[in-house]
Amino acid sequence: MTKNIKFSMTDNILHYKCKPMREKLTQIFLEKNQQLNLSAIRDPEGVRLKHIQDSLMLLETKIIQPGMLVIDVGTGGGFPLMPLALSYPETKFLGIDSVRKKTLAVNEMLDQLGAHNAEVLRTRMEEYQGEKADVITARAVAYSDKLIQRAFPLLKHGGYFLLMKQFIEEERSVLLALCKKYHMDLIEERKYSLFDGDIQRVIRVVRKR
């Protein structure tokens, strides 16, 4: 199933219920980014729109629920992990990244935000030995056999991959081939743009059998 979403900033939880927290996240990230170069996006509006609002498009899937464990692979600068953790305080979030400066930075930002339901581990997917996830998120990560092979053991049977990236039509067939190989199902696609003239983006929801 493919859906096209007309984006509205008033549609997400963090905007209309937690606007002060959204602004705090923007400020904290800009300060940390100036120190550590976590992202090429350095202006407040860019962070709000291209990092925070983009991350919160995952709310549209309604997959993430209270009590779940959500693992974010390749956490990087902390998106979508931080906005999701603020939006779902009763859900546990775990980020995985192998780069020390990024894991330290995101954990410091989570602490400043009071997001005690989330943390980031400095490890690789293939080395993770903890609890299996109900949901795995991956943002701006290329579909590849290596990604699925490493992330697949981290996900429970019946769990979901939420894959976010720029929409490229040819990548759909790559993902379908991976679904067949790893016994998964592509159950939904949500295309969207963040503003007029923006690139088209897509969230693909994949279920592990």
Q: What is the pLDDT of residue 158?
A: 98
Token pair recorded at residue 114: 């009071």
Domain count, the chain: 1
CATH label of the domain that carries residue 83? 3.40.50.150
The answer to whether the Cα torsion of 137, 36, 111, 120 is positive or negative is: positive
Which strands sit side by side in the sheet containing 155-166, from one edge to the other?
A: 2-6, 184-193, 201-208, 155-166, 133-139, 69-73, 92-97, 118-122
Q: What is the pLDDT of residue 191?
A: 94
Q: What is the pLDDT of residue 8?
A: 42
Q: What is the pLDDT of residue 197?
A: 85
Q: What is the pLDDT of residue 143?
A: 82
pTM for the predicted model, two decimal places: 0.91
Which residue spans within 82-154 are E strands per DSSP?
92-97, 118-122, 133-139
Q: Pick from 40, 59, 35: which is nearest to 51 by CA?
A: 40
With a cut of 50, list the residues of the chain below it in pLDDT.
Answer: 5-16
- Containing domain of residue 143, as a range? 2-61+70-208
C-alpha distances in Å from residue 104, one per residue of 65, 97, 116, 120: 27, 10, 15, 8
Q: What is the pLDDT of residues 179-202, one digit of tens each?
A: 999 999 999 999 999 988 888 999
